[in-house]
Structure 1
Amino acid sequence: MTTSTPSSTLSLLPTPTHLPVVHHMVTIKLTLDNYLLWKAQIVPYLRGQHLFGFLDDSRPAPPPTINITTDEISKIQPNPEFQSWIIQDQMILSALISSLSENVLAYVVQCTTSREVWLTLERMFTAHSRARVMNIHYQLSTLKKGDSSIADYFHKFTGLIATLAAINKPLTDEEQISFLLSGLGSEFESFVTMVQMRTDLLSIEALYGHLLSHELHMAQAQPKVDLTLAGAHVASRGVSSSRGNRGGRFSNTSHTGSTSFSSGQRTNRGRSRGRGSSTNGSRPTCQVCGKFGHTALTCYHRFDNSYSSDSNMQALLAMPQPPVVGRRLIR
């Protein structure tokens, strides 16, 4: 037998909250590697719609039926609040499922309520989240500014801090400042000392402003080089170097020339000595009789076969002989 709900009761049913299309609000779908980012989007989204109580069980499901007593007659009827709760919960369930990737969706296909989906995902990624928290702490302890700017360094730092806050593992202000200062380079030693000596605790935002000012001050304190003067200096050095090289070549050439000239003089002198033994300077020496003043062609002893002397033979043997082609002498 079907029992109908009175129209007066239907008018008192709470109106379910219609959720906007979730993919317009949650841009990152849940995968096996980005649970923290996905949760950081889903939680404020549902809290803004006053619906996170369906997930943390602060708004549990009402009983499905109620007893209605009229004229001392008790009747069991469906609970209209339960029906309204079911409608709202299924909307949340649909929003959650639409934000899951296909790989993760396979783990929650058997879930029938939004809380079941939430708890299943939380159990899946709890161990992963714990490892992720440890990894973030390690990244914070090893994060260094290096050659990057203060803005880039602070952006990386705040990204890690925000990730910890999104998984309900936020750092205190003292811990944040300690991690931030420990990653600065040696050029910020005076700044770190100044911050540590302060009696009041700076906020992260105020500390960031001071770091930017300190970085700007260091940049202005560095000596500037006039590129125009530097270019002129390099050009003048190049001209001087080229002149020096040319001077070196001239010196080498002169030196080489003098060396060649000296060598030529020595060679000529040697040749003069050689000719001197046969010609005595400008006076020729006879190859037959060995006397100065004439040559063998004009010597009257050249046809005298009986003429010979030991000194003449020694002079003849000491003289270099010209090459002979056929029977003709080459002079």
Structure 2
Amino acid sequence: MLTVKLQDDNFVKWNFQFQSVLRGYDLLDFFTGDNPCPPNYVIHTESGVTKEMTAAYKNWVKKDMALLSLLIATLSDDAMEHIIGCKTSQEAWSALQDRYAFISVSSINQLKTEFHTAQKGGDSIDKFLLKSKAIRDQLISA
């Protein structure tokens, strides 16, 4: 299902593909933080916090680790360097967003220049339009 691996030059494509799958399975909330980790220990009204783990916590961790594994499987070796040490899918997602989604001002200016100076040249019109759309998508992402 996920055919694009994240590299330095394809964040927009990768992000679109990855989020589409997550939305399809209603799992994006693990990555955005809208599905926080439940309390890990059972709390009794009489005795307070126990050493017994809650079923909700165990299930959440199991699902989150599976999602983190899925995320890792879609990363190139270089991209994986940015999430080493992350303990949850949300931590990894945030690290990738910080690294790839927020492009510097100089990169934005470079993309704008590329967009405004793009020429068809010997390319087919389809290829030219795809290149223009890719630059536009990167600008929108930034």
Instruction: Tell me, yes or no, whether TM beats 0.5.
Output: yes
Within the alignment, does 1:31 sit opposite 2:7 as a pair? Answer: yes
The alignment partner of 1:67 has SS state of: strand
Cα distance in 2, alignment partners of residues 67 and 57 from structure 1: 24
Q: Which whole-Å CA distance do the structure 1 matches of 2:55 and 2:40 have between them?
A: 8
- Give 1:94 shift: 0.2
Question: Residues 237-316 of structure 1 correspond to what in structure 2 (within 5 A)?
Answer: none
Contact conserved, 2:11 with 2:101, CA < 8 A, in 1?
Answer: no
Letter matched to residue 107 of structure 1: H
Shift of 1:38: 2.2
The one of 98, 121, 130 aligned to 1:123: 98
Q: Hey, what does 1:143 align to over in structure 2?
A: 118
Structure 2 residue 37 is the aligned partner of structure 1 residue 40:
no
Candidates 157, 170, 174, aligned match of 2:132: 157
Give the drift of 1:106: 3.1
Aligned to 1:53: 29
Residue 152 of structure 1 deviates from its aligned partner by 4.6
**1:100–1:140 CA distance, 2 compared to 1 (3 A):** same
Whether the 8 Å CA contact 1:37–1:163 is kept in 2: the answer is no
Bigger Cα Rg: 1
User: How many Å apart are 1:144 and its aligned residue?
Assistant: 3.5
- For residues 128 and 32 of structure 1, what CA distance do their matches in structure 2 show? 11
Identity of aligned residues (%): 29
Query: 1:144/1:119 Cα in 2 relative to 1: closer, same or farther (>3 Å)?
Result: same
Structure 1 gaps of 5+ residues are: 1-24, 170-331
TM-align CA RMSD: 2.8
> Normalised by the size of structure 1, how large is the TM-score?
0.37
CA drift of 1:95 comes to 0.5
1:91 equivalenced with 2:66 (yes/no): yes
Any conservation in 1 of the 2:115–2:132 contact (CA below 8 Å)? yes
What is the CA–CA distance in structure 2 between the aligned matches of 1:63 and 1:131, rounded to whole Å? 44
Alignment of 1:77-88 (within 5 A): 77-88=52-63
1:129 CA drift (Å): 6.0
Q: How many correspondences in the alignment?
A: 140
Of structures 1 and 2, the one with the larger relative CO (CA 8 A, separation 6+) is 2
Which SS does the other structure have where 1:39 is aligned? helix
